[in-house]
């Protein structure tokens, strides 16, 4: 591409009016990048349904092109070991990672270290690891992680961020790395397993280009978790947090103070890696939604398209105001998980999320999609 010479006075005006965050793909200094992300882990499955996503004017769009044009600069993809029910396999992740990189967006890889969904209440090891000794599991997590990263690196899709486990409040790979209930004194084993995963990443990422993230499901309880880990000196870079108002505190001043306390206590970057908010309390298929009543929402933000947009604007401002520039962005969870099989979808092939998507029931982009260019 050839660039025309810009007169000096125009260049100076542009420089004064723009910031590094105006570029939806970030800037040349990753440390200053503010992530405006989306978790598109469902796309490997949804693409087979030929979902007709549309812009706000009702024009059909290709999803990845559209979200990139609106300012999205990070795509998160979940990975399961041996998927049981259509979740992402390594081949799925590799294929979609190529698409992400072709759009010059960054890539966040979320290891579940399970064959099915992992969260604070369920952290089952892959079936292939369940009869192993602790030492064997340590070897398995190292070998598996290294193989995944090696394959991604070989196709030039090395992630910018790698998440070691999903919402690991209670540890992971139960009971080997469980730190909950009767295993509350098991932090050393959890830390050892995390260390093996990190060591595997660094075996491939020898230049330390990848940032390592640990993920906790709640803003208010994360301080305890990371305090427990401090003694083990784990080599990670980012505190990843989920914030879903229906499950957590709804006092926004307390949310802000907890985020600020995390930043000042642990001197780590903070990424709000799972966030969402409803644009309606209605539904568009026959599966029960996670949010369906007003008492599950925030009083400050109505469950309307404008309320969803206002919530996201508040969230971005809050993250950007975390002390010492430690707030590095957010990732909207499943903005694309619409009623993909029509409004007669059942509990087995529907979605529990369509009223928290960033596309309405006519699959038109909602006002919140325009907040991704927020500066």
Q: What is the pLDDT of residue 375?
A: 64
Cβ atoms of 212 and 197 closer than 8 Å = no
Report yes or no on whether pTM surpasses 0.75.
Answer: yes
pLDDT for the residue numbered 31: 59
Residue with the two structure tokens 């006075």: 9
- Region of 334 (left: φ > 0; alpha: ψ -120 to 50; beta: rest) is left
Please indicate whether residue 84 or residue 309 has the higher confidence score (pLDDT). 309
pLDDT band at 30 (very low <50, low <70, confident <90, very high): low
Can you tell me the distance from the alpha carbon of 118 to that of 163, in angstroms, rounded to the nearest whole number? 13
The pLDDT assigned to 13 comes to 34
Predicted confidence band of residue 342 (pLDDT cuts 50, 70, 90): low
Predicted confidence at residue 25, as pLDDT, reads: 37
Q: Name the average pLDDT for the chain.
A: 90
Provide the residue count of the chain: 375
Mean pLDDT value of segment 99-103: 98
Answer for the pair 131, 183: CB distance below 8 angstroms, yes or no.
no
- Which tens digits make up the pLDDT trace of 268-284? 999 999 999 999 999 99
Yes or no: say if 33 and 26 are a contact pair by the CB < 8 Å rule. Answer: yes
Contact residues for 358 (Cβ-Cβ < 8 A; gap 6+): 38, 332, 335, 336, 365, 366, 368, 369
Please give the Cα distance from 154 to 290 (Å, whole number): 39
Tokens of 291: 């949010």
Give yes or no for residue 2 having a pLDDT over 90.
no
Roughly what angle, to the nearest 10 degrees, separates helices 134-154 and 90-102? 40
Tokens of 264: 């000042």
Q: Which residue would you say has higher pLDDT here, 84 or 349?
A: 84
Q: What is the mean pLDDT of residues 277-305?
A: 95
Q: Which residues pair with 60 in a beta bridge?
A: 54
Q: With 60 as the cut, is the pLDDT of residue 175 above it?
A: yes
The confidence score (pLDDT) of residue 84 equals 84
Active-site pick, 68, 196, 274, 354? 274
The full set of domains in the chain, from first to last, is 41-72+272-326+335-375 (no CATH), 73-236 (3.20.20.80)
Distance between CA atoms of residues 16 and 142, nearest Å: 48
- Catalytic-residue membership of 31: no
Residue 181 has pLDDT above 90, yes or no: yes
- Catalytic residue flag (residue 167): yes
pLDDT surpassing 70 at residue 167: yes
Instruction: Write down the pLDDT at residue 191.
Output: 98
User: Which range among 3-17, 21-35, 316-330 shows the weakest confidence by mean pLDDT?
Assistant: 3-17
Q: Please state, in angstroms and rounded to a whole number, the distance separating the CA atoms of residues 313 and 359.
A: 17
User: Catalytic residue among 87, 160, 167, 196, which?
Assistant: 167
Residue percentage of the chain with pLDDT more than 90: 83
Does residue 222 register a pLDDT over 80? yes
């Amino acid at each position: 591409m050839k660039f025309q010479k810009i007169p000096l006075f125009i260049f100076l005006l542009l420089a004064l009016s723009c910031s590094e965050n105006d570029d939806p793909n970030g800037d040349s200094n990753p440390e200053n990048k503010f992530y405006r992300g989306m978790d598109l882990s469902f796309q490997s499955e949804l693409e087979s349904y030929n979902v007709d996503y549309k812009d706000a004017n009702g024009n059909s769009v290709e999803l990845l092109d559209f979200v990139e044009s609106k300012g999205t600069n990070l795509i998160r993809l979940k990975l399961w070991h041996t998927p049981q029910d259509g979740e992402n396999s390594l081949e799925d992740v590799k294929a979609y990672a190529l698409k992400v990189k072709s759009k010059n967006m960054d890539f966040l890889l979320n290891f579940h270290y399970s064959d099915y969904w992992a969260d604070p209440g369920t952290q089952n090891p892959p079936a292939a690891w369940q009869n192993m000794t602790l030492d064997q599991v340590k070897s398995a997590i190292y070998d598996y992680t290294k193989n995944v990263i090696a394959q991604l690196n070989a196709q030039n899709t090395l992630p910018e961020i790698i998440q070691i486990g999903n919402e690991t409040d209670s540890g992971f790979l139960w009971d080997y790395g469980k730190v909950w209930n009767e295993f509350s004194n098991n932090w050393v084993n959890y830390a050892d397993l995390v260390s093996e995963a990190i060591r595997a990443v660094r075996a491939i990422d020898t230049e330390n280009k990848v940032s390592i993230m640990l993920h906790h499901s709640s803003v208010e309880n994360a301080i305890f978790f990371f305090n427990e880990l401090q003694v083990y000196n784990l080599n990670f870079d980012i505190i990843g947090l989920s914030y879903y108002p229906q499950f957590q505190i709804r006092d926004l001043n307390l949310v802000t103070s907890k985020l600020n306390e995390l930043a000042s206590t642990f001197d780590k970057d903070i990424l709000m890696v799972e966030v969402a908010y409803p644009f309606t309390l209605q539904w568009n298929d026959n599966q029960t939604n996670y949010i369906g009543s007003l008492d599950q929402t925030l009083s400050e933000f109505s469950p309307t398209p404008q309320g969803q947009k206002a919530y996201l604007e508040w969230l971005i401002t809050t993250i950007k105001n975390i002390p010492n520039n430690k707030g590095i962005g957010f990732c909207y969870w499943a903005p694309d998980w619409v009623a993909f099989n029509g409004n007669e979808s059942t509990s087995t092939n529907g979605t529990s999320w369509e009223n928290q998507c960033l596309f309405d029931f006519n699959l038109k982009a909602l006002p919140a999609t325009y907040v991704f260019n927020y500066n």
